[in-house]
Structure 1
């Protein structure tokens, strides 16, 4: 079933990992998809070619999520190209780890700029092109509520900020017929958090399902929240974490 026919989706950080899986899934569901990338130009263009070869429509735009003007321009460009934005997926994120007494202020600022401010900038820009039935999905993290290892305080703080944001914005956007939710992945096998490492293996003992998730498993939740069957879901934090937070 193509639940997203005639919908236009915008996905930040969509060239690799979870972002690329989301782009593929939304395109499979029938959506036209615009995606941003910062440095993975070849991967982004290959993904666009893959979608177009399957009969879909896609557009890759180079944009730094940490640059508010660039992100706003990218969203406006996609809306001009395709006529509207029905679905926004705030996926771009950074992960800086380290003890607080050694944590560089520039890494703190970068974490806030990409993981928090870019979400606000993106949704504010997208709302100008989004009408009733719009969907906003943020990719958060289960670390917003559970951090069982050292060095992730700033990352966890940035992801927990999204929980308060969506609860407040659910009230603001509900009368406009627009929903907003967070998807909270647990450990997922990507280049940011590969399964085949000592650290990756150590996480499995904390989980009900002792394995990393697959990017496609996160994308399936995003597709649900972007589609018509989730019309009564808003302001929610939905974990896809293999029981990491159980």
Structure 2
């Protein structure tokens, strides 16, 4: 028996990166059906083919712009007709713009907020009624440690703080329907969104307690836990997966540099 046996799962931004790793974990744990929703058709088909070959599971690929409400309505209606339920929604689709307050244009702001915040809102809004049928459903919203700190990427940070708040509000509102809603806050992780700033990742590794950046599969395993019935009494929570950065990794690094933090006895 797998941890996801019998479950129908929808992952936005599931064509590559963190989303594709989520799909891999779900398939490995026996999910009945995985719906990959993304704007990258070619990447979707590649990921789906690989999962079908390795696990023999049902994979449905659908093009979805998470900012388009009509597309959400059509997708949820199709899932209802095909499967009659939706057990897990992973709001993973996101973009980043690394600009400071004074550098940020209104276009930068609107683009990031529309995908990262409005996309999550639309996903929860349009999937909730279908997920009600499960009576034991789970929504996982991918935020970031930027949603817990004052990270410099202005629109990105604002969007991830919003996801954190929306998650808690939704957890209260949807609890009567047996829908759990939680957010995951990855630290610096090697993904498609961060591949262009490898030097920054390696630099920040000094401020991580485990002294390295994260791997996509490590975030995916946290998503799997919140999607599975193992987390049946967890809702409205923020799961930080950052190697100890937010807990005080930066302070640890500087005190070690100053000779004040000794671990060898």
TM-score by length of 2: 0.87
TM-score by length of 1: 0.94
- Per-residue deviation at 1:196? 7.2
- Per-residue deviation at 1:168? 1.6
1:9-58 alpha-carbon deviations (Å, 9 max, x no partner): 0000000000000011111111110011113x222112111222222111
Counterpart mapping for 1:1-246 below 5 A: 1-31=1-31, 32-39=33-40, 41-53=41-53, 54-130=55-131, 131=133, 132-147=135-150, 150=152, 152-194=153-195, 197-246=198-247
Runs of 4+ in 1 over 6 A off after TM superposition: none
- Per-residue deviation at 1:109? 0.8
- Per-residue deviation at 1:80? 2.4
What is the alpha-carbon distance in structure 2 between the residues aligned to residue 154 and residue 227 of structure 1? Answer: 32
- Per-residue deviation at 1:195? 8.4
* SS state at 2:244 partner: coil
What is the alpha-carbon distance in structure 2 between the residues aligned to residue 240 and residue 88 of structure 1? Answer: 19
Instruction: Answer whether contact 1:189 1:195 (CA < 8 A) is retained.
Output: no
Instruction: Answer whether contact 1:76 1:125 (CA < 8 A) is retained.
Output: no
Aligned to 2:252: none
Structure exhibiting the larger radius of gyration computed from Cα positions: 2
Q: C-alpha root-mean-square deviation of aligned residues, in Å? A: 1.5
* SS state at 1:15 partner: coil
Instruction: Answer whether contact 1:75 1:122 (CA < 8 A) is retained.
Output: no
Aligned residues: 243
1:116-141 alpha-carbon deviations (Å, 9 max, x no partner): 11111111111121121010000100
1:84-117 alpha-carbon deviations (Å, 9 max, x no partner): 1110000000101112222121121111111111
What is the alpha-carbon distance in structure 1 between the residues aligned to residue 83 and residue 107 of structure 2? Answer: 36
